[in-house]
């Protein structure tokens, strides 16, 4: 039987540290069309961190969000067993992952903590299952 490490009942204490990493990644955002820069930092249970930023291009529709960049970077490097992602943006309302990113987070990271923060330090931490309560995934196929 495959053993799965139990998920922590509370988010780790260091999610604001993870957000600091996401804030640095945000500075590399390529967002000339929206002007909306986002940074993400995805953490494994072992404590490795992979960052992402949004990458826009002239066709608009091929834009990748910071979250998906981080997830695809990580899984393409063979990483797994994630426990949290921090997402930092600068907006009046906190920026939660878009629908596409929720799906990708659920499928590749599972029910990890999602820590969203703005540049003033306002923050909220939720789980992917709160953002995507009735997911479609491989169990449906
Ligand atoms: N964006 C992200 O990178 N992550 C989010 O959670 C929300 C939206 C990006 C996509 C696009 O480059 C810009 O923000 C505006 O939608």
pLDDT in tens, 55-108: 999 999 999 999 999 999 999 999 999 999 999 999 999 999 999 999 999 999
48 catalytic? Reply is no
* Cα 75 to ligand 1 centroid, rounded to whole Å: 20
Q: pTM for this structure?
A: 0.93
Choosing from 48, 67, 77, 107, the catalytic residue is: 67
CA 96 to ligand 1: nearest atom:
6
CA-CA distances (angstroms) from residue 54 to 23, 41, 64, 87? 12, 12, 6, 11
The encoded tokens of residue 60 equal 């608009």
Asked if residue 54 has its Cβ within 6 Å of ligand 1, the reply is yes
Q: Which two tokens stand for residue 128?
A: 């992917």
């Amino acid at each position: 039987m495959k053993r799965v490490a139990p998920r922590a009942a509370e988010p780790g204490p260091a999610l604001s540290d993870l957000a600091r990493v996401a804030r640095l990644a945000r500075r590399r955002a390529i967002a000339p069309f929206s002007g909306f820069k986002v940074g993400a930092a995805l953490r494994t249970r072992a404590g490795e961190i992979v960052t992402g930023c949004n990458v826009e291009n002239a066709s608009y529709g091929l834009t990748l969000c910071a979250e998906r960049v981080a997830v695809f970077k990580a899984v393409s490097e063979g990483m797994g067993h994630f426990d949290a992602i921090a997402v930092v943006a600068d907006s009046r309302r906190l920026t939660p992952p878009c629908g596409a990113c929720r799906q990708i987070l659920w499928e590749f990271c599972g029910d990890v903590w999602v820590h969203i923060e703005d540049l003033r330090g306002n923050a909220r931490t939720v789980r992917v299952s709160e953002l995507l309560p009735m997911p479609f995934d491989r169990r449906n196929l």
